[in-house]
Amino acid sequence: MTHFLARRALGLALTVWIVVTLAFLMMRLVPGGPFSAERRLPAAVAANVDARYHLDWPLWRQYVQYLGPLNVDTHGLFGDRERVFGGVLAGDLGPSFRHRDYTVNQILAESLPVSLALGSLALVWSIALGTVIGVVGAARRGSKLDLWLRMGSSLGIALPSFVIAGLLVLVFALTLGWLPVAGNTSFAHFVLPSLALGAPVAAYIARLVRTGLIEALSQDYIRTAIAKGLPFSTVVRRHALRGGLLPAISYLGPAAAGVLTGSLVIERIFAIPGTGSHFVASALDRDYTLALGVTIVYSVLIYSLNALVDLAYTRLDPRIALEEL
């Protein structure tokens, strides 16, 4: 276990470093800069702005300064005092270029809880509903109910979440008036976005659970269990479910990462100030530091969630040992 965790930690550090370096270079290769605008500044003024954000430095020096942990700036970007440490390795993601009143750390501290809350809600309901639908579908394979559930989940997978979001708003907010159109000032505001965000995940899980369970139910040991005279529900619960859930569990890692990080469209439609909206906006604004900051957070999140899923795997399937992962 310790060995596994140590290896994953090392892998995480290496992954994040590669991601940061690549993202840093890619951001700079894209045409345009954080301060390019339709109304361009006079050269002298533009030079002052660049100097303030060290954009006049050679790229390697900007990179060293950004990564840290040593501060290569003589007086720190914001301050007048000399600072020894700075940069990502010192926990400082730098100032935002677009949001001049905020550092990237401040922006993430404000927006991450919102995104995580939204993502958690979506995840909880989609796992619960997806599993139930999957199990019911598998248990009643071929019935009319199964047909309807399968059609529903196909729709959930096929429809992009912004279409689902639009439909939900139209029905529940504009027509029925049960829930607010958009915003984020009460729990009710989070219901529609989490439904829209979780719908594709629920549909996918339903499908995986159904297939996995049907596969498990056709195994010889199930036949034996039924022959022994066990009630069918006990057979499913005690014998089939474990094997049947495996495909769904392996999907949970990417699903959780996708839901927690992939809420950009939903956040925009429902005016929810989460991290997802910054992910796209910062790239478009050429807000180098914010784009990198969000990328770092996302890569850590995705990597850790996948490690968690691997852990869960060994719990469910004794044939898989941590050492092999």
- C-beta of 154 vs 218, nearer to other proteins: 218
- C-beta of 58 vs 79, nearer to other proteins: 79
Q: How far is the CB of 107 from other proteins (least distance, A)?
A: 6
- C-beta of 52 vs 61, nearer to other proteins: 52
Q: What is the DSSP string of 102-165?
A: -BHHHHHHHHHHHHHHHHHHHHHHHHHHHHHHHHHHHHTTTSHHHHHHHHHHHHHHHS-HHHHH
Please tell me the distance from the alpha carbon of residue 239 to that of residue 130, in angstroms, as a whole number. 20
Q: What is the DSSP string of 5-62?
A: HHHHHHHHHHHHHHHHHHHHHHHHHSSS-TT--SSPPPHHHHHHHHHHTTTTS-HHHH
- C-beta of 12 vs 281, nearer to other proteins: 281
Q: How far is the CB of 229 from other proteins (least distance, A)?
A: 12
Amino acid at 121: L
**SS3 call for 78:** coil
- C-beta of 17 vs 57, nearer to other proteins: 57
- C-beta of 39 vs 228, nearer to other proteins: 39
Q: How far is the CB of 154 from other proteins (least distance, A)?
A: 21
**SS3 call for 70:** strand
Q: How far is the CB of 93 from other proteins (least distance, A)?
A: 12
Cβ-proximal residues to 117 (8 Å cutoff; 6+ apart), any chain = 190
Q: What are the start-end ranges of the H helices in 218-287? A: 220-227, 232-235, 241-261, 264-269, 275-285
Q: Look-up: residue for tokens 């720190």?
A: 76
Please tell me the distance from the alpha carbon of residue 24 to that of residue 1, in angstroms, as a whole number. 34
Q: How far is the CB of 18 from other proteins (least distance, A)?
A: 25
Q: Look-up: residue for tokens 């529609």?
A: 192
- C-beta of 203 vs 249, nearer to other proteins: 249
Q: How far is the CB of 150 from other proteins (least distance, A)?
A: 15
- C-beta of 62 vs 96, nearer to other proteins: 96
Phi-psi region of 271 (alpha: psi -120 to 50; beta: other; left: phi over 0): left
Q: Look-up: residue for tokens 């003024």?
A: 45
Q: How far is the CB of 56 from other proteins (least distance, A)?
A: 12
Q: How far is the CB of 171 from other proteins (least distance, A)?
A: 13
Q: H/E element holding 316? A: helix 288-316
